Structure 1
Amino acid sequence: MATSGNRRGLAGALAALVVVEVVFAVAYGVSAGWGWQQLVDNFVVTNGLMGLTFGLCGAVIAWHRPANPIGWLFLADGIGHATTPVADALAHVVHDHVVQQAFVTVSLTAWPWSIGLFLPLALLLFPDGRLLSPRWRWAAIGIIATSPLFVLEMAGSGEPVSPELPRGLLTIPRFDALQPLWTATEVRNLAALLLALVCLAIRYRRADEPGRRQLLWLLLASVIALLFVTPWAFVAGTPILVLLAIPLIPIAVAVAIVRYQLLDIRLVVSRALTWALLSLVAIGIYAALVAVLDSLIASQVGRSAAVTVFVALIIAPVLPRLQQLVDRALYGDRNDPARVASRVGSQLSAGLPGVVAAIRSALRLPYAALRVDGRLIASDGIPPSHDTRPPHGTRPSLDPGPVDPGSEPVDPGPGPVDPGDGASGPTAEGVSVVPLSYGGQVLGLLEVGTRSGEAGLSSADRSVLALVAVPLAVAVHATRLSAELQTSRENLVSAREEERRRLRRDLHDGLGPTLTGVAFAADAAANLITTDTPRAVELLARLRADTRSAITDVRRLVDDLRPPALDELGLIAALRQRADQLSFRADGAPIRVTVTTDSLPPLPAALEVAAYRIATEALTNVVRHASATSAVLSLRCGTELEIEITDDGSANGVWHPGVGLQAMHDRTAELGGTLTAGPTPTGGQIQARFPLPAAASVPLEVR
């Protein structure tokens, strides 16, 4: 912690030094009566602004990321730029010729290190302070080794910034004769910056989406600065103020390293590209019209005004189209909901993962996921983290720069708050959700990552997502139905196999040995009928008993498959017969069981068996456990078959499902019905409802 505090203190002291130097230089220029043009010509404005931006941005980076060398390189860059105007001012203050020459030399040699060494090296190490790979070590060594050439070029001319000052101490006698070397030095500077840009481009290609958003800040600033500074290095007469584009680089680097999610870089790039394209179009049209009108219209007609009017008329309809093209490249098809819906619809047959990927791709979102019943069904992209800060001592992937173990974490700022209109809402930081509703029920959630710098989904994004949520909800519903159908089929197959296994076990363990014994006894009796009649009679008696036992086993198996009373008497009469058999409780006390029913239509065999089993199981439970004196079994038939069993037993708290109650639930669920069971203020109640097939419409007379 002490090391971290010392580094931060050093960063603050160096930043304060830069500020003091710039303030002193500006104060001297103003007190000396320098006007704006003289401040510009003496590089007070340009070097002062570059010194402040590099120094302060470097201090911010070094404060939050002490172990990242980029912050310290920027601080050195800022000091170099700020030292140039302050040394020039001091040269005006002193009157000793040699001291003046010394200050002029410092002024000439301070800032070249910033441009020739510190800046390209910082860009080469961006964003985490490490080289792209070991092979890039030679590029860094080359930049460091050749950086003194630029310093030598600036100091060798000996020309002071202000004409009234003497030449520097490092003046080279035949400086102009070395012009090819100085040209090569300028080319070297440009090559160093281009090499850094190539490195950034490679990092951009290899980075994930958050990393690319981070790199876009610096790439945009570097390209703009390079476009402005290149003419100043090679074209005579270029205004000095073009150097004011350089401060964009430290600002972009500081934002990218410390708070790269502060603004939506895509929005910045969108607007910049739009106006850049528009400017190029305007310049081209202007040049073409000037060439044509120059030969057709005399100068006294007002050619420039006519050209301006023509350009304005042509450019007016071009801007919206350019904006549309750029927005589509950066934001996808969010302004064309029909196109998004078409892309999503074409992926429905490919399954839910394809739909989620199509939504993310169509809207250029960083992340999209589908959750159903709290489970992640499909996702595409990289989910945003709840905290973008990297763990201490680890190499971050989203937030650059190696983190010093003693440094304090940086507050990433408040998470995005989705303004939403009810169609979506925020969840984790950087994620908004869109509910997927079908039939008034929320089936799942579509989670989408918000773009960097956006507080939430825009109204255009929400409109598109609300549109695609409808077919996506239908797809989720269909997928759920398909899964339930598959589960039902598996349950049916499992139940069928379990029933077959039971039948096989009963036949093998019960009826099989009995019939085998019958066969052996019949053979033995046939062999003894003439030689040992009494023994044969004994075997025939045993044969009769075994045969009756086998008949009983067969009857039991048949009864388990389907109660014979249903075929012999019908459902209602079979239930009444069963009710008559249950006229005494387990303790011997009488109980009166009443059966009331409507006329029933013909019912499917499976429904008849389920109704019979549920009713008889419920009545058996009443007789065994309810301590009731009466029970009522009611069957009602309308749009569905309703079976209700009530008793006047004691209401002794919540029922705990046992084997019988679970079996009733399973039988009801197999046929798509519902079952409720529990105590009431007047006793117990079990109620089962079954949907009726369309063919069940002819009443069945009560027997």
Structure 2
Amino acid sequence: MTEGEAQSPQQTTPTAVPHPLPRRRPLRRPAPKSAAARRGEAQGGPASRPEVRRWAVWRWVGWRWVAVGLAAFGVAEVIAGIALSRAAGWSVQEAIDSFTVTNGLMGLSFAICGALIAWYRPHNPIGWLFVADGIGHATTAVGAPLTEVLHDASAPIGLQRILSTLISYSWPWSIALFLPLALLLFPDGKLASPRWRIAAIAIVVTAPLFALEMGAGPSPAFEGGVTGYLTFSWYDSLQPLWTATELRGLLAYALAIASLVVRFRRADETRRRQLLWLLLAAVIVLIFMTPWALVAGTPILVLLAFPLVPIAVTVAIVRHQLLDIRLVVSRALTWALLSIVAMGAYAALVAMTDSFISSRFGRSAAVTVIVALLIAPVLPQLQRLVDRAMYGDRRDPARVASRVGEQLATNPAGGMPGVVGAIRSALRLPYVGIAVDGELLATAGVPGNVVPVDLSYGGTTVGSLLVGLRSGESALSPADRNVLALVAVPLAVAVHATRLSVELQTSREKLVAAREEERRRLRRDLHDGLGPTLTGVAFTADAAANLVSVDATRASELLSDLRRDTRTAIGDVRRLVDDLRPPALDELGLVGALRQRADQLSWRADGASVSVSVSAEGLPALPAALEVAAYRIATEALTNVVRHSRATVAVLALRCGTELEIEVTDDGPPNGAWKPGVGLQAMRERAAELGGAFEAGPSPTGGRVHATFPLATP
């Protein structure tokens, strides 16, 4: 898997098999082509690009079958080793003691897993290294019984020595070269950085030392057997070199582990899941190999844990989302730590109680009981520590809520990116996002299988918290839901506050835009209407003054025009003033102005009369903006009754308590849902500008327009 594949949006689904074509190399200037090659390309011959691509595809398919063939060869060696063990008359225990069983299983696991990796990821060298590793172990597995069969059959000494040499020098390469190099390249087949190239070169160059240490000894493979070629009679004098070789092996694996640690710290969620598969295998191998290293007489069969390494690597590269690896690693780490603690406690107690308890009660029973009593309270603590490393603080909801609160307190206006990052980090989730009205406010991680969690404020859903499921999970666990339910409360408040802030900013922008539009309209009316009229009045006055002593008749006509233009200018001024604020509000008050307007709207367009009544008593003094909004909405509603309905009675009611309520009802027949028009939209906008509510439509008794406005508290 390449780096780009690991961060693509579809990574949460099972990993797709990449295209078998090799990576595209940097562009280079092409070499000049011959005339024959150019003619072949023009005619669609072998030199054309489709043919080149087809050849590349077949080349990679061919390499895949090469890997399968090599793996089949290793499997055949293991099968032959089983048959030869029976031919040599070995018992099962003899086959185990000669490492035939362990080498055979290692050969099978490494060869098959390497073939799978090479088939699905032919560009990844780890598959080929595993195939080579498997052949090395399988060759030793078949060689050990074959050597004894040839010895019993008195085969030629030269053939026996060649076979002994092959056995001695085959498996060390698997341990010293193929496996550490594969771990260094895990999981994408590339080094963690160019600086690790020195480590890779050192492993390759120094690998022959381990092969010499294992194969150059003068001792035969078994008692009575023959020694192989490439042995040194002065082998024992090179003991310092062999000690350095052993240290070299430890250093090689230490470098591989360090490389994996560096990758894990730098990796994204997908790469970390891949590395956790290898960590799981390493934990299990550690559990089995710790007794091998510390306790004498440990059975050889503990080496059968090693095949878990190639299996884990194969799953990590090919199908790393097979299940929730975090849960498995959590349990494995717990039991590994517990096993180590148990072994240490057992050893310590044996040393301390050997002289006292064993003489009276028996060592085995007493120590076992004491160890069990000591470990019983340790297991929950270990499980809690491991779960926190794998799943974060989901067992401590208050801690998660505190981290979210810190992010909101640090940046309440725009802290959503920090909030989703804190939730994702606290719960070790692959993806967290916040969506409002279908739009993402903030995200963290790579989206995949996402589950929405509603964010509710005041009984209304204000947004959604999008949570990405971990690999292998089909739904959120109860522990995760409990944490998210606690976090959703302050998060919903923050989202609601963010929405209010956005709406407030939008409202301010609308108010500024409306103010500028009103100023533009006034400027246009003054410039295009009143301005030319006043200019004409000035010119007419000047002409009349010049003609009053010369032509009195003409001067009198100009004065008549001047009087007419002056009245026109006065009418324009009154119109502008009326548009700014209805004069009836200042002259008669809100109720009087509405009653005056109701008297003017007593006749429908078809000539029928409409009885319009106004009910409003005890209204307090209202702000100017509220008076204008109430007047405009009420008069527009009454105008719609006269124009569009066939009502005979209309009632305008104004009520004032904690809020101002305006209601216009009529007895017109219902004609279905009202279609939104300019008038309804204008009324709705006037109500919204002052924080009010508006609704209009048919009712069982006729039409109804209802608006409410909040009143400022003294």
Q: How does 1:521-540 map to 2 (within 5 A)?
A: 521-522=540-541, 533-534=552-553, 536-540=555-559
Partner of 1:370: 434
Per-residue deviation, 1:117? 2.2
> Counterparts of 1:18 and 1:498 in 2: how far apart (Å)?
85
TM-score (norm 1): 0.81
Kindly indicate whether residue 705 of structure 2 is the aligned counterpart of residue 687 of structure 1.
yes
Per-residue deviation, 1:81? 0.6
Seen in structure 2, the aligned counterparts of structure 1 residues 654 and 455 have a Cα distance that, compared at 3 Å, is closer
Partner of 2:608: 591
Alignment counterpart, residue 452 of structure 2, candidates 430, 433, 448? 433
Note if contact 1:627-1:649 (Cα within 8 Å) is conserved in structure 2: yes
Seen in structure 2, the aligned counterparts of structure 1 residues 593 and 576 have a Cα distance that, compared at 3 Å, is farther
Note if contact 2:67-2:115 (Cα within 8 Å) is conserved in structure 1: yes
> Counterparts of 2:136 and 2:74 in 1: how far apart (Å)?
9
SS in 2 for 1:437: strand
Seen in structure 2, the aligned counterparts of structure 1 residues 24 and 600 have a Cα distance that, compared at 3 Å, is farther
> Counterparts of 1:259 and 1:458 in 2: how far apart (Å)?
23
> Counterparts of 2:143 and 2:224 in 1: how far apart (Å)?
14
Seen in structure 2, the aligned counterparts of structure 1 residues 440 and 616 have a Cα distance that, compared at 3 Å, is same
Q: Please give the per-residue CA displacement for 1:259-287, whole angstroms capped at 9, x wherever unaligned.
A: 12223333344334333443444455445
Q: How does 1:218-257 map to 2 (within 5 A)?
A: 218-219=278-279, 221-222=281-282, 240-257=300-317
Alignment counterpart, residue 503 of structure 1, candidates 515, 522, 535? 522
Partner of 1:23: 79
Kindly indicate whether residue 275 of structure 2 is the aligned counterpart of residue 211 of structure 1.
no
Seen in structure 2, the aligned counterparts of structure 1 residues 139 and 358 have a Cα distance that, compared at 3 Å, is closer
Kindly indicate whether residue 107 of structure 2 is the aligned counterpart of residue 51 of structure 1.
yes
Seen in structure 2, the aligned counterparts of structure 1 residues 629 and 307 have a Cα distance that, compared at 3 Å, is closer
Alignment counterpart, residue 97 of structure 1, candidates 156, 159, 164? 156
Seen in structure 2, the aligned counterparts of structure 1 residues 116 and 27 have a Cα distance that, compared at 3 Å, is same
TM-score (norm 2): 0.80
The one-letter code matched in structure 2 to 1:109 is: Y
Note if contact 1:117-1:147 (Cα within 8 Å) is conserved in structure 2: yes
The one-letter code matched in structure 1 to 2:406 is: S
The one-letter code matched in structure 2 to 1:205 is: R
> Counterparts of 1:132 and 1:285 in 2: how far apart (Å)?
39
Seen in structure 2, the aligned counterparts of structure 1 residues 74 and 629 have a Cα distance that, compared at 3 Å, is closer
> Counterparts of 1:315 and 1:655 in 2: how far apart (Å)?
76
Partner of 2:187: 127
SS in 2 for 1:165: coil
Alignment counterpart, residue 446 of structure 2, candidates 380, 383, 397? 383
> Counterparts of 2:319 and 2:430 in 1: how far apart (Å)?
18
> Counterparts of 2:289 and 2:242 in 1: how far apart (Å)?
17
Kindly indicate whether residue 418 of structure 2 is the aligned counterpart of residue 359 of structure 1.
no
Alignment counterpart, residue 390 of structure 2, candidates 330, 335, 350? 330
SS in 2 for 1:435: strand
Partner of 1:443: 462
Note if contact 1:579-1:595 (Cα within 8 Å) is conserved in structure 2: yes
Note if contact 2:435-2:464 (Cα within 8 Å) is conserved in structure 1: yes
> Counterparts of 2:501 and 2:549 in 1: how far apart (Å)?
71
Per-residue deviation, 1:371? 0.5
Seen in structure 2, the aligned counterparts of structure 1 residues 41 and 344 have a Cα distance that, compared at 3 Å, is same
Note if contact 1:591-1:631 (Cα within 8 Å) is conserved in structure 2: no
Q: Please give the per-residue CA displacement for 1:487-528, whole angstroms capped at 9, x wherever unaligned.
A: 223322332332233233333433344445445555665666
> Counterparts of 1:137 and 1:695 in 2: how far apart (Å)?
75
Seen in structure 2, the aligned counterparts of structure 1 residues 138 and 232 have a Cα distance that, compared at 3 Å, is farther
The one-letter code matched in structure 1 to 2:661 is: L
Per-residue deviation, 1:9? 3.4
Note if contact 2:653-2:664 (Cα within 8 Å) is conserved in structure 1: yes
Seen in structure 2, the aligned counterparts of structure 1 residues 620 and 432 have a Cα distance that, compared at 3 Å, is closer
Note if contact 1:42-1:161 (Cα within 8 Å) is conserved in structure 2: no
> Counterparts of 1:70 and 1:284 in 2: how far apart (Å)?
37
> Counterparts of 2:348 and 2:707 in 1: how far apart (Å)?
84
Seen in structure 2, the aligned counterparts of structure 1 residues 522 and 323 have a Cα distance that, compared at 3 Å, is same
> Counterparts of 2:175 and 2:713 in 1: how far apart (Å)?
90
Q: Please give the per-residue CA displacement for 1:416-438, whole angstroms capped at 9, x wherever unaligned.
A: xxxxxxxxxxxxx2x22211122
Partner of 2:650: 632
SS in 2 for 1:335: coil
> Counterparts of 1:233 and 1:287 in 2: how far apart (Å)?
15
Note if contact 1:615-1:645 (Cα within 8 Å) is conserved in structure 2: no
The one-letter code matched in structure 1 to 2:705 is: Q
Alignment counterpart, residue 664 of structure 2, candidates 644, 648, 661? 644
Note if contact 1:450-1:457 (Cα within 8 Å) is conserved in structure 2: yes
Note if contact 2:283-2:332 (Cα within 8 Å) is conserved in structure 1: no
The one-letter code matched in structure 2 to 1:97 is: P
Alignment counterpart, residue 84 of structure 1, candidates 134, 140, 155? 140
Seen in structure 2, the aligned counterparts of structure 1 residues 130 and 328 have a Cα distance that, compared at 3 Å, is closer
Note if contact 1:619-1:645 (Cα within 8 Å) is conserved in structure 2: no
> Counterparts of 2:210 and 2:513 in 1: how far apart (Å)?
84
Q: How does 1:28-177 map to 2 (within 5 A)?
A: 28-30=84-86, 32-94=88-150, 95=153, 96-98=155-157, 99-177=159-237
Q: Please give the per-residue CA displacement for 1:647-690, whole angstroms capped at 9, x wherever unaligned.
A: 75894x876544334323322332344445567899x8462322
Note if contact 1:673-1:691 (Cα within 8 Å) is conserved in structure 2: yes
Seen in structure 2, the aligned counterparts of structure 1 residues 41 and 357 have a Cα distance that, compared at 3 Å, is same
Seen in structure 2, the aligned counterparts of structure 1 residues 694 and 207 have a Cα distance that, compared at 3 Å, is closer
Seen in structure 2, the aligned counterparts of structure 1 residues 244 and 558 have a Cα distance that, compared at 3 Å, is same
SS in 1 for 2:610: strand
The one-letter code matched in structure 2 to 1:29 is: S
SS in 1 for 2:338: helix
Alignment counterpart, residue 69 of structure 2, candidates 13, 16, 21? 13
Note if contact 2:87-2:149 (Cα within 8 Å) is conserved in structure 1: no
SS in 2 for 1:249: helix
Of residues 141-150 and 463-472 in structure 1, the stretch that sits farther from structure 2 once superposed is 141-150
Of residues 231-240 and 197-206 in structure 1, the stretch that sits farther from structure 2 once superposed is 231-240
Stretches of structure 1 that go unaligned for 5 or more consecutive residues are 386-428, 697-703
Of residues 628-637 and 664-673 in structure 1, the stretch that sits farther from structure 2 once superposed is 628-637
Seen in structure 2, the aligned counterparts of structure 1 residues 138 and 476 have a Cα distance that, compared at 3 Å, is closer
Note if contact 1:615-1:633 (Cα within 8 Å) is conserved in structure 2: no
Per-residue deviation, 1:370? 0.5
How many residues are aligned here? 646
Kindly indicate whether residue 347 of structure 2 is the aligned counterpart of residue 313 of structure 1.
no
The one-letter code matched in structure 1 to 2:575 is: R
Partner of 1:275: 335
> Counterparts of 1:236 and 1:467 in 2: how far apart (Å)?
53
> Counterparts of 1:292 and 1:681 in 2: how far apart (Å)?
94
Q: Please give the per-residue CA displacement for 1:568-611, whole angstroms capped at 9, x wherever unaligned.
A: 3444554454344445666xx41312213433442634344334
Note if contact 2:392-2:426 (Cα within 8 Å) is conserved in structure 1: yes
Note if contact 2:590-2:627 (Cα within 8 Å) is conserved in structure 1: yes
> Counterparts of 1:62 and 1:264 in 2: how far apart (Å)?
25
Partner of 2:402: 342
Note if contact 1:116-1:150 (Cα within 8 Å) is conserved in structure 2: yes
Per-residue deviation, 1:564? 2.2
> Counterparts of 1:649 and 1:249 in 2: how far apart (Å)?
82
Q: How much is the aligned-residue C-alpha RMSD, in angstroms? A: 3.6
Per-residue deviation, 1:41? 1.6
Seen in structure 2, the aligned counterparts of structure 1 residues 647 and 549 have a Cα distance that, compared at 3 Å, is farther
Alignment counterpart, residue 616 of structure 1, candidates 598, 615, 635? 635
Q: Please give the per-residue CA displacement for 1:334-383, whole angstroms capped at 9, x wherever unaligned.
A: 11112222222232232333322222222122221101111110122x21
> Counterparts of 2:296 and 2:594 in 1: how far apart (Å)?
110
